[in-house]
Structure 1
Amino acid sequence: MKTSMSKLTKAISCAIAASAVSTIAITLPALAQENAEELKAEKIIVTGTRMTNRSAADSPVPVDVISGEEFRQNSSADVQDMLRTAVPSFDINSQPISDAATIVRPANLRGLSPDNVLVLLNGKRRHRGSIISFLGGGISDGAQGVDISAIPSMALKQVEVLRDGASSQYGSDAIAGVLNFILKDDAEGFEVQARYGSTYEGDGDNFIISANGGLPLGDAGFVNITAEMREVDGTIRSVVRDDVAFQIANGYTAVSDFELINTYTNEVPQYWGQPDVEDDIKFFVNSEFDISEQATAYLFGNYGERMVTGGFFYRNVVGGPSGQRGGVYRGPLVDPTTGLRADDGVPSVLVGDLDGLGAGGACIDGIPLGGQGGVNPDPAFLAQVTADANCFSFIETIPAGFVPRFGGTNEDTAITIGVKGDLRIGNGLYYDVSAQQGSNRTDFFINNSINASLGPDTPRNFVPGGQKQSETLFNANFVYTQDVGLYSDLNIAFGAEYREEEFDLYAGDAASFALGPLASQGFASSSNGFGGFPETTTASQDSTAFYIDLEADVTENLTLQTAIRAEDFSEFGNTTDFKLAGIYHLTDEVRLRAAYSTGFHAPTAGQANITNVTTQNVGGVLIDQGTLPLSSVAGQLAADFVESAGNGRPELGPEEAVNFSFGIGFEVAGTNWTVDYYNIELTDRVALGANVDFLDALNFAGGGANFGTVSEALTSLDAQGTINRQDFIGLDDLSQFRFFSNSFDTTTTGIDIVGNINFDFMGGDSRITVAANYNKTEVDSVGDVNPISAGRVNAIEDLLPNTRANVSWSHTDGNIRTLLRANYYGGWDDTGNGVNGIGAEVLVDAQVAYQYSDQVEFVLGVDNLFDAYPEENPGAGGSGQLYSEASPFGFNGGTWYLQAKYTY
């Protein structure tokens, strides 16, 4: 049914998109000349320039200005999803099963990592989120970006999107562009909004209640307050897994009781879909107060919290296409008559000896599997294990398998205080001095799981620990204008910044990382699916920067801008970056612009210092794998070992970028268009490398020794004075580890097209906006020292559509306002899930608003009007995932919403 409907809806969607484009062509001759004047109305920007009167149309680099009302015209209440609709080069996915990335979703601008876009709030750098995305879909692996979803849309006056590199103006991360969220500054008025929505399937119910109000502070200031509360129910877009169906078909009846498998739903034995978001509360304040004619004090900040819960994959009991879950159910090959190990035996369910091997009573090695399909536990041996209190198998207590539910609670806080004004020196020395502190903390939980090594004593729910990112910034910015004989005064901006960041890792409960008594018998340790952090650690770094920024109208038609910034990092040394940009007005209707700049992204304190050790079952062998800092003693030992292969020494430092762009802006027949080409060369990108064998590295440190175990190697090397044993505390059982280092190079090229048309239509006012983006990233080098995998190369190059576009038509006639929007997503590949050649899709959104009175408005809207879905995974039964989680427009199908707004 979905397949046939998909063909129909695609045809209708494409027809609507085509009709919108044809409307442009039909409308052009009929546009009144006065509408051209409306298009020229200046939108003053504060992003990408430090001049006080620069408009977006006259900016040397492209800057999009999106009003708060335009921004909120879709069904989602999450700012990141709103950005996906408003900015074609911005991508965000649902992340249904992505470990911590489910809680703080990684976003991509121009196909680059979340680390490569700078986020500002009121022009000030926003602190990062606490999550390092170890599962980032290939594009965002290892990234630590800003938690944009902590910002409530109701608080926004407008959003400015700088589509160019700006590291020389703002510092680290401004490679793909800059997102500047500008808060409302009304000193009066009150607005409250309530919205409820759901999917066509009847799940994913969501509601949001938000309010904003402005109050005067006497005659000299204002305070603007926003509060928001929302909840989003999860969706189910999974199918019965092949291994579950196989077990049922072959008589393993315990699995047919789906409620035992997954308490979330009794429809399918796996949670897979949009995560649940509960208790999502946001509070923002923005205020200013004139201290004197020369000084204005300001304060803005926020507090927010939410709980996000996603799913993990099903843990198989007795076999099937994906096999049994290792470290929990999968036992060795055993003799079907004795239950003891035998190389030519049959598969079994793992059995543990609770008083230890060789002590007290003995247990069989595994419960033989046989019968129909070879999946049914031998009832006699099962009864024997159940009857013996010394013998234990998880088939006794959890016979249907289990599906962990993973999530976390997130808390975000920030405050910025400052003073700005004019010192009235010469032409005026404008200043802005500020201090800010922000933090983002996530505390994890995993429920319906086990620590298998604890056997029957394992808890089912765990607290694996938490992560926190804290940042403190001090800024001093100055602007001075000087007449130097040019068409305008020379705008001289200069300043300094000190930034300190700290990354804290909090220990989990003991059971979440314990190496229990059954660990030596093949049972996995730690909370299954997401192991706990064994200790609390803190890492920090700081940087100091100085910049100068010059801009002027050299002639009536030519504007030039240049900037240079020098920054010194405590951990990574110095970097200096510059920018040169200009715009030339050929005529009043045509202008050319171009920019060339260098940029950088410095690794975060978390990336440089995170320590995370987990126990994994690799090939039936229980081993400890870790992520360790390259700067640690163990990391440097590994660097020596890697260097010995002759490919160079791994290092961790800033990514380096070179941005080049040029474009044209023109007005024709009352319409306004910009076309911009960009090229971003990014070298020495930060990546997590392949695992290093710890024992091999220690043997190399010993001059080619042949130690039998890590513990033996550490003891011997300490005795020889080669290492200090204290530097390796807690690593005796470590088999493999990896680290962050600079690795691969990429080149990103693309074209942005933006256009808008205002016109009269059927007695009302209409506006058509067009935004399109073509973006292509190619991996120039996978790296010599620490190469990335072929799978990650495929993700970087093909996981996102190369082409995105939307055409919106809004119309206002009296009390009625309508919106029709066609969103185009080009083809893409999901090689990791074996889904390649996924075709293009067009989604259509519609909205009708009725202004009941001056204060009350009602809105009915639908996103994805024709219920389009991405193509189904051909191997959906293997993982239970009906659609690719990397779908650029999600996988929920059509959604509707009702909204009421009261304004006073």
Structure 2
Amino acid sequence: MKMQYNSLHIAIKLGLTLSAGLLFSGLAVAVEETETADKNIEKIAVIGSRAAPRSIGESPVPIDIIGGDEMGKTGNTDMLEILKGSVPSLNVHQNPISDAASLVRPANLRGLPADSTLILVNGKRRHKASVIAFLGGGINDGAQGSDISVIPSIALKQVEVLRDGAAAQYGSDAIAGVMNFVLDDSADGGSLVVRHGEYFDGDGTATEVSGNVGMPLTRDGFVNLSFQYKNADATSRSVQRPDAAAFISAGVPGVADPAQVWGSPEIEDDITLFGNVGLDLGNDKEFYMFGNYSERDVRGGFYYRNPHTRGTVFSNDDGATLLVGDLTPGPVGQINDGLGMGDGIDCPIIPITTGDVTSQQNYIDGIANNPNCFAFNEMLPAGFTPNFGGNITDTSLAIGVKGEITDGFLEGVYFDLSGIVGRNESQYFIFDTINASLGPDTPRDFNPGKYIQLEKTFNLDLVRSLDMNLYDDINLAGGLEWHEETFEVVAGDVASFTPGPLTSQGFGIGSNGFPGFQPAAAGVSSRRNYAVYIDVEAPVSETFLLGGAVRFEDYDSFGSTTNYKLLAQLNVTDDLSFRGSFSTGFRAPTVGQANVSNVQTNLSGGVLVDSALLPPTNPISLQLGGSELQPEESESYTLGAVYESGDFFLTVDYYNIEVEDRISQSEKKTLSDADKASLKAAGVPNVDSLQQVSFFTNDFDTTTEGVDLVVNYTAELFSGDSTFSLAYNWNETDVTQFSAITGDFKVSRLENDLPNHRGTLTWAQEWESVAMFTRANYYGKYQGVHVDWDATANNADAAVTVDAEISYFVTDSITLSLGAQNVFDQEAEKINIPEANKQEFGISNNSWGGKYYETSPFGFNGGFYYVKATYNF
């Protein structure tokens, strides 16, 4: 077959494309010359429509294609939820009360953390989010992946999911696989979509307006622009906490019901703009440019602060006595050096003996009527519940040129030269809280600071077909990549971190729940790396394809790494083929993981404590077993088969992924008195204010194995066009080596939090004026965990949810749709703590106000219905 260059695309024969059948780098799209027409007709491996198979049968490794039409019928606006319904090996959790993990939700492909999947847009590496999932639900603790949620489905032609290790082609992060988001490149037409819905419980009301328009750029180019704007109210799946209910019974004024909310956060003014530009430059060259601007505000709940027991605010002995601040004025030289605060010895001790300490006579006499003695019960008699939120801003720009070199010694080589810059900023806010050490002068709202992730990448990719007297030409590719990653910490406002005058009297420092980043922790950390790769695919015979790739990568921090990949496909018959691959891989620790520090509030043994996340090279971390981070290393292999006969399509693939020295957040370690004494002697500041410490570490090894099954069948049934799709995934992770730094409970979460079995069964039907789409989602058993404490861990039952949508084509341009996710309102697993744990820890099913385990793989909000109107032009 003769191959030639098209004015907009580089032609490379199907089956010889770089890296597993699709050239994700954007160098090429397969085209076939027709014998009867002057122009080439683009032939992609799998077209982006509901009627087409979702996996590439000709590829030697498994790839899923989710087309734009299919994404539009899921009824969801969140890209993570859209992909979860289409790719069973992808799991996504909703994260209530999870610090930054509720701002940018992590996703797990093949049971590995979010940053083990490489994200591409138009074949170019996507920058990571600045958010690090400090409370990431076990498997994602400490993960720093890309923010997929900023990519709107209306901006996409299709999504390509490579379910195979690919670090030898694309570098770090591709241990689990690769997701490539292909932007719409239409030069005409467009659409406008309005969608409105809410949960069956009457909350979480969401409204979205999105649009796309394609326009010509001279005669030989295109400009494709997309936007999405949405708002979503918060949800609550809560019951009143027993302690808050007791305060209401005791007559304490102002206790909210519920005092603490478990639910999805509120999302305000979520705006995303995407642009995609292409222009034929002539002489077999093409210019391209694409990028985005995205911004949103997110605000969610936090833990309730009990006005009798909350440490460093209301009591320092778990509610036996009240924490009282001495405000007695004193001379310069006193313990607080003349700041107008006392020395902590002139106020009475107030035992808490009733259900409302503010009603006790000793409190009234010693605190309420004593201007020199202060307790936060005077300001906040009902306690308080902070609200945590953030403003997330994401921008990117990629510019490049590609084409064929037509003269010189590189004649016949196709090239792609590009530069990409991406930036993600997370500005944090915490509301309705206090800096206890400031006493009665504390503000209630704080700006704790921000994180900024900045990445720059330059690529040169080259591809050439060579005649080596085989069945067909060999496809040879090579390239260079330079990458710089920068992570910046910006200090918060002074009140969010300053130690106030009551610090020496046992009151907590910083904005309670999320203390601000101190100037000492602020700064910029950077790392650079470069890579060289070569990739070969050879059709040894008409039925046998063999390929391989080698990539050398050098980092200015930890050194260099070399990885390789081998792949093959054997066509046994016209209908049946077998395929397989073996690869090594790596994931470099992010600059953020190596340098970030933070303080979080978490539950430990049923008690709220402040826990510091410190860099692994901090003296405290080193004393507790930390060390400088090294890259994760992996070995993986995949064996599979493809069967395709007429309108029936089936793929089945087994995978096995071994990862050594996995990077994660350690268990939270309690500092002993000996630890504190040793650290003080070494000159480490603020040791007394810390209760627990964690850090990032290379501490454990895992083996993950599983099976992916995809079946598609299309037919003309029921007087219309029918498409049936079955997708199933079995996945199991085994922690093969770990130490006390990781801990038994973390191991249990890694192995059991995700269901071992996931499946979807989809039926899409279309008639002349009506279309229908329904999907059944199966989730196998999993470990239910609540508030990250092993006393609540329990086995949760398997469940099935159903999504459905029906559309009426009013005209060729206007479509009206009605749909629902989780049509039958399948509930998540309710919290059911074993009796032994209730007795040992003194807890009940709803001690912390939640109805459902937060690890539910299909969420905890229940059914959601929506209406949608689409105008195509």
> What TM-score do the two structures reach when normalised by structure 2?
0.88
Residue in 1 aligned with 2:382?
Answer: 400
Residue in 1 aligned with 2:8?
Answer: none
Where in structure 2 are the equivalents of 1:561-576 lying within 5 Å?
561-576=547-562
Secondary structure of residue in 2 paired with 1:401: coil
Inter-partner Cα distance in structure 2 for 1:690 and 1:522: 26
Inter-partner Cα distance in structure 2 for 1:113 and 1:587: 38
Inter-partner Cα distance in structure 2 for 1:736 and 1:782: 20
Inter-partner Cα distance in structure 1 for 2:26 and 2:470: 18
Residue in 2 aligned with 1:349?
Answer: 322
How big is the shift at 1:615? 9.8
Paired residues of 1:849 and 1:859 also in contact (CA < 8 A): yes
Q: CA RMSD in A?
A: 2.8
Where in structure 2 are the equivalents of 1:274-293 lying within 5 Å?
274-293=264-283
How big is the shift at 1:733? 7.3
Inter-partner Cα distance in structure 2 for 1:599 and 1:694: 36
Residue in 2 aligned with 1:198?
Answer: 198
Residue in 2 aligned with 1:418?
Answer: 400
Inter-partner Cα distance in structure 1 for 2:285 and 2:138: 48
Residue in 2 aligned with 1:440?
Answer: 424
Instruction: Say if 1:884 and 1:664 are closer, same or farther in 2 by CA, change over 3 A.
Output: same
How big is the shift at 1:554? 1.4
Secondary structure of residue in 2 paired with 1:348: coil
Inter-partner Cα distance in structure 2 for 1:552 and 1:438: 35
Where in structure 2 are the equivalents of 1:75-114 lying within 5 Å?
75-114=75-114
Paired residues of 2:509 and 2:689 also in contact (CA < 8 A): no
Paired residues of 1:501 and 1:541 also in contact (CA < 8 A): yes
Instruction: Say if 1:485 and 1:269 are closer, same or farther in 2 by CA, change over 3 A.
Output: same
Inter-partner Cα distance in structure 2 for 1:48 and 1:682: 26
Write out per-residue CA displacement over residues 795-832 of structure 1, whole angstroms, 9 at most, x where no aligned residue.
Answer: 11010111100000000111100011111011111244
> What letter matches 1:497 in structure 2?
E
> What letter matches 1:579 in structure 2?
K
Instruction: Say if 1:871 and 1:623 are closer, same or farther in 2 by CA, change over 3 A.
Output: closer
Paired residues of 2:779 and 2:857 also in contact (CA < 8 A): yes
Mapped pair 1:881 → 2:871? no
Secondary structure of residue in 2 paired with 1:368: coil
Write out per-residue CA displacement over residues 437-479 of structure 1, whole angstroms, 9 at most, x where no aligned residue.
Answer: 0010000000011111111011110110010100000000000
Paired residues of 1:465 and 1:532 also in contact (CA < 8 A): yes
> What letter matches 1:800 in structure 2?
L
Inter-partner Cα distance in structure 1 for 2:586 and 2:375: 53
> What letter matches 2:460 in structure 1?
A
Paired residues of 2:25 and 2:123 also in contact (CA < 8 A): no
Mapped pair 1:867 → 2:825? yes
Inter-partner Cα distance in structure 1 for 2:580 and 2:602: 52
Secondary structure of residue in 1 paired with 2:469: coil
Write out per-residue CA displacement over residues 208-245 of structure 1, whole angstroms, 9 at most, x where no aligned residue.
Answer: 10010011011111010001100111111000111112
The gaps in structure 2 that reach 5 residues or longer are 1-14, 31-43, 46-55, 336-341, 833-843
Inter-partner Cα distance in structure 2 for 1:173 and 1:790: 26
Residue in 1 aligned with 2:286?
Answer: 296
Alignment counterpart, residue 590 of structure 2, candidates 586, 601, 604: 604
Write out per-residue CA displacement over residues 3-50 of structure 1, whole angstroms, 9 at most, x where no aligned residue.
Answer: xxxxxxxxxxxxxxxxxxxxxxxxxxxxxxxxxxxxx9x998434997
Secondary structure of residue in 2 paired with 1:369: coil
Mapped pair 1:830 → 2:830? no
Paired residues of 1:369 and 1:376 also in contact (CA < 8 A): no
Instruction: Say if 1:630 and 1:838 are closer, same or farther in 2 by CA, change over 3 A.
Output: closer
Instruction: Say if 1:163 and 1:624 are closer, same or farther in 2 by CA, change over 3 A.
Output: closer
Mapped pair 1:768 → 2:753? no
> What TM-score do the two structures reach when normalised by structure 1?
0.85
Inter-partner Cα distance in structure 2 for 1:618 and 1:677: 39
> What letter matches 2:297 in structure 1?
M
How big is the shift at 1:317? 1.4
Residue in 1 aligned with 2:575?
Answer: 589
Mapped pair 1:384 → 2:366? yes
Residue in 2 aligned with 1:369?
Answer: 352
> What letter matches 1:367 in structure 2?
I
How big is the shift at 1:497? 0.2
Instruction: Say if 1:712 and 1:563 are closer, same or farther in 2 by CA, change over 3 A.
Output: closer
Inter-partner Cα distance in structure 1 for 2:611 and 2:60: 49
> What letter matches 2:215 in structure 1?
L
Instruction: Say if 1:694 and 1:348 are closer, same or farther in 2 by CA, change over 3 A.
Output: closer
Inter-partner Cα distance in structure 1 for 2:761 and 2:343: 75
> What letter matches 1:899 in structure 2?
K
Inter-partner Cα distance in structure 2 for 1:123 and 1:880: 45
Residue in 1 aligned with 2:53?
Answer: none
Paired residues of 1:239 and 1:876 also in contact (CA < 8 A): no
Alignment counterpart, residue 310 of structure 2, candidates 325, 330, 334: 325
How big is the shift at 1:207? 0.8
Write out per-residue CA displacement over residues 624-663 of structure 1, whole angstroms, 9 at most, x where no aligned residue.
Answer: 964333356x37xx64x567xxxxx834111001011100
Instruction: Say if 1:773 and 1:198 are closer, same or farther in 2 by CA, change over 3 A.
Output: same
Residue in 1 aligned with 2:243?
Answer: 243
> What letter matches 2:649 in structure 1?
N
Secondary structure of residue in 2 paired with 1:566: strand
How big is the shift at 1:525? 1.2
Mapped pair 1:485 → 2:469? yes
Residue in 2 aligned with 1:814?
Answer: 768
Alignment counterpart, residue 852 of structure 1, candidates 797, 810, 819: 810
Paired residues of 2:775 and 2:802 also in contact (CA < 8 A): yes
Write out per-residue CA displacement over residues 690-719 of structure 1, whole angstroms, 9 at most, x where no aligned residue.
Answer: 567889999xxxxxxxx95755543xxxxx
Instruction: Answer with 513-522 or 355-364: which moved more.
Output: 355-364
Instruction: Say if 1:691 and 1:660 are closer, same or farther in 2 by CA, change over 3 A.
Output: same
In percent, how many aligned pairs have the same letter? 44
Secondary structure of residue in 1 paired with 2:80: helix
How big is the shift at 1:672? 0.8
Inter-partner Cα distance in structure 2 for 1:694 and 1:269: 31
Where in structure 2 are the equivalents of 1:76-225 lying within 5 Å?
76-225=76-225
Instruction: Say if 1:196 and 1:461 are closer, same or farther in 2 by CA, change over 3 A.
Output: same
How big is the shift at 1:190? 1.9
Mapped pair 1:903 → 2:872? yes
Inter-partner Cα distance in structure 1 for 2:202 and 2:598: 40
Q: Which has the higher helix share?
A: 1
Write out per-residue CA displacement over residues 594-647 of structure 1, whole angstroms, 9 at most, x where no aligned residue.
Answer: 100001100011111113367999999999964333356x37xx64x567xxxx
Paired residues of 2:403 and 2:416 also in contact (CA < 8 A): yes
Instruction: Say if 1:365 and 1:676 are closer, same or farther in 2 by CA, change over 3 A.
Output: farther
Instruction: Answer with 612-621 or 673-682: which moved more.
Output: 612-621
Write out per-residue CA displacement over residues 117-171 of structure 1, whole angstroms, 9 at most, x where no aligned residue.
Answer: 0000000000000011111111001110100011111101000000000000000
How big is the shift at 1:884? 1.3
Mapped pair 1:894 → 2:863? yes
Secondary structure of residue in 2 paired with 1:860: strand
Paired residues of 1:113 and 1:139 also in contact (CA < 8 A): yes
Write out per-residue CA displacement over residues 838-863 of structure 1, whole angstroms, 9 at most, x where no aligned residue.
Answer: 11111011110011111111111111
How big is the shift at 1:730? 7.8
The gaps in structure 1 that reach 5 residues or longer are 1-39, 262-266, 319-323, 334-345, 644-648, 699-706, 715-727
> What letter matches 2:305 in structure 1?
R
Instruction: Say if 1:614 and 1:847 are closer, same or farther in 2 by CA, change over 3 A.
Output: closer
Paired residues of 1:863 and 1:894 also in contact (CA < 8 A): yes
How big is the shift at 1:377? 4.7
Inter-partner Cα distance in structure 1 for 2:543 and 2:730: 30
Inter-partner Cα distance in structure 2 for 1:843 and 1:693: 41
Inter-partner Cα distance in structure 2 for 1:181 and 1:790: 38
Residue in 2 aligned with 1:519?
Answer: 503
> What letter matches 1:466 in structure 2?
K
Paired residues of 1:48 and 1:166 also in contact (CA < 8 A): no
Paired residues of 2:358 and 2:381 also in contact (CA < 8 A): no
How big is the shift at 1:111? 1.1
Paired residues of 1:48 and 1:162 also in contact (CA < 8 A): no
Secondary structure of residue in 2 paired with 1:193: strand
Paired residues of 2:24 and 2:122 also in contact (CA < 8 A): no
> What letter matches 1:330 in structure 2?
S
Write out per-residue CA displacement over residues 514-540 of structure 1, whole angstroms, 9 at most, x where no aligned residue.
Answer: 111112212111111111001121101
Mapped pair 1:254 → 2:252? yes
Paired residues of 1:744 and 1:787 also in contact (CA < 8 A): no
Paired residues of 2:27 and 2:415 also in contact (CA < 8 A): no
Inter-partner Cα distance in structure 1 for 2:178 and 2:348: 59
Secondary structure of residue in 1 paired with 2:517: coil
Inter-partner Cα distance in structure 1 for 2:600 and 2:70: 46
